[in-house]
Amino acid sequence: MDQAGGAGILSTPESVQLSVSLPGAAPPHLRLHAVCEAGARLLAAAARWLRAVPAAHALPFEVQVSLLKKCWPELFLVAHLQAVLRDRAATHAPDTSHDMAVPEISASDYSDERIAEVTSSLSRLQQFISHMEQLRLQQREHAHLRALCLFSPDGVPDFLTRKLQDYQIKVLRSLRATVQDEDRLATLLLQLPVLRTFSGPFLEDVFFVGFVGDVSIDDVIPYLLNAER
């Protein structure tokens, strides 16, 4: 049971755990397929996790869809981060050139301007992952970051604002009880604005090009959540 008023937010093992595995290293001609497969698994894991959070599960289905549409890039990246770091720790491999941390892009799919934008974001993503690797986050810390992203009241209808603010306060209290070190707590919370700098279109270009075609992730989300009902 979560401490300090967090009960009901991350009160079950399923709301803390994230069950997802990434594809292994792929030869060059299969790398795009492996990246798309990783993206599909991570997105499905985010939807599955949302449904496992009691407070989110209790919300109407339409609200769940709205929440996931709002924050899927952050949830996707926290899930990606956790899976990548877990795989690296399991293999004890210092060479990360072939893991799924930072995918490559195909220049034929983009304009020169878009290539520059995506390349810059990929570089920042690599820096972010390296920084987070040094922090050695625990499973419950990952879960709290996901919950803070999920229950952010930014951009939601007025009728949801107060409820999400209450949920965020409970998650924050629980995180403070879990971490107990104020400097580490501040460092973790400072990662949330960084997560928001990685846009949905960037992730679609990198992880889903050639996988969902012209369909946006927002269009896929209702079907993903419905599959978890």
CB atoms near residue 155 (< 10 Å): 11
What pTM value is reported for the model? 0.86
Summarised one tens digit per residue, pLDDT across range 41-96 is 999 999 999 999 999 999 999 999 999 999 999 999 999 999 888 877 776 655 44
Full set of structural domains in the chain with CATH: 13-227 (1.10.565.10)
Residue 107 per-residue DSSP state? G
- Rounded Cα distance between 41 and 76, Å, is 10
Q: How far apart are CA 167 and CA 53, in angstroms?
A: 11
In percent, the amount of the chain with pLDDT more than 70 equals 83
- State the pLDDT at residue 89: 73
